[in-house]
Structure 1
């Protein structure tokens, strides 16, 4: 898949585009087209969140963990009534 693997609903009727980049055992980037799209999206974003799951997880686990983190982060903002700027564009 090329591009974001998920769009997680966020505040102010926005969504968080979730990009997952794959790297091989030698550290070589295996998803260069998605990386290019992620960098382009980051340039237009107001907030960029970057995570690294390490070498002991598989793709499905990483996707679940990152999705859960983003949803939890958004839920915490709602729980504590933390406002985001009107132009909030997260990646």
Structure 2
């Protein structure tokens, strides 16, 4: 199934890549589709781990990466600081 902002939902044949059904009775733009098999049970939504971040980036992963990069840079500075202070090129790390 796929839906779009043109208010249509399409059911696809995954083997042929062609549409099987067109559902165009929607009154608004389609932003989310949830598939429920016949007789399916409502499943709890885990909003803490949605997949939308994979489309637009992940704030948690970005923050972790920035922290790792900052730590790496700080370690590099701490390695060269003694030499820099001995030569008068630096006096402290902030």
Identify whether the pair has TM-score above 0.5, normalized to the shorter chain: no
Q: Which has the higher contact order (CA 8 A, sep 6+)?
A: 1
TM-score by length of 1: 0.26
> Is the radius of gyration larger for structure 1 or structure 2?
2
